[in-house]
A and B are shown apart, each in its own frame.
Chain A
Amino acid sequence: GENVEQHPSTLSVQEGDSAVIKCTYSDSASNYFPWYKQELGKRPQLIIDIRSNVGEKKDQRIAVTLNKTAKHFSLHITETQPEDSAVYFCAAIPGGSYIPTFGRGTSLIVHP
């Protein structure tokens, strides 16, 4: 089955800095890669996703890149703000499946 590794487990930045979270996956059949943000005590919420036919996708301060050859994808947050502080999860879903495999999460702390 699919295996997703996520790094780092904790990331501490100053407000205004950029943050990058990286994930690798094992199943070359995976073709959909969503990212979730989970604030303390709340449910995970989808913030951005990317499909395997695209190398990069942006949404305001958030971007995701995908390298299919190397089987890794990354979340980039620019101009971080304290409200970006949360746990971020990556996931990978093989084509023909509807079952995501999640990474273990990255706790992002943005210091004012």
Chain B
Amino acid sequence: NAGVTQTPKFQVLKTGQSMTLQCAQDMNHNSMYWYRQDPGMGLRLIYYSASEGTTDKGEVPNGYNVSRLNKREFSLRLESAAPSQTSVYFCASSAGQSIWEYFGPGTRLTVT
């Protein structure tokens, strides 16, 4: 039982490049989330997926797209990276309402 996994762990991009962050969970959770973490800003929700086949915007969705590929996988895509997207990205999953959230190990992204 690996929990929530993310790839890659580190990434450096040049402005304008694109990339996809991958996330997978093996706990049969319905809900999955993408957060970004910046110093002093806490955890801010980018997108979430309540269940397979649905996605919704969170607090800071601009510049990102997501895909809920199946129940296990939820990917985050940056189409044209900007320096403001330099951050640590966490994927998380939960069993639903008022249930624990499990976080992945994070991806540290730097955009130059």
- A interface vs B, CB < 8 Å? 6, 9, 31-32, 34, 42-46, 49, 51, 89, 93, 95-100, 102-105
Also in contact, A98 and B50, with CB within 8 A (given A32-B98, A43-B103, A45-B103): yes
Q: How many A-B residue pairs have CB under 8 A?
A: 51
B74 contacts partner chain A, Cβ-Cβ < 8 Å: no
Task: Please give the distance in Å from A32's CB to the nearest CB on chain B.
Answer: 4
Is the beta-carbon distance between A105 and B90 smaller than 8 angstroms? no
Question: Which listed residue, A43, A45, A97, touches B97 by the CB 8 Å rule?
Answer: A97
* B13 on the A face (CB < 8 A): no
Across the interface, A89 reaches (CB within 8 A) one of B43, B94, B100, namely B43
Contact B105 A43 (CB under 8 A): yes
Given the complex of chains A and B, what is the CA–CA distance between A42 and B6 in angstroms? 13
Which of chain B's residues have a CB closer than 8 A to the CB of A43?
Answer: 90, 103-106
13 A-B contacts (beta carbon < 8 Å): A32-B98, A44-B43, A44-B90, A45-B103, A46-B100, A49-B100, A51-B98, A93-B98, A95-B98, A98-B94, A98-B97, A100-B101, A105-B40
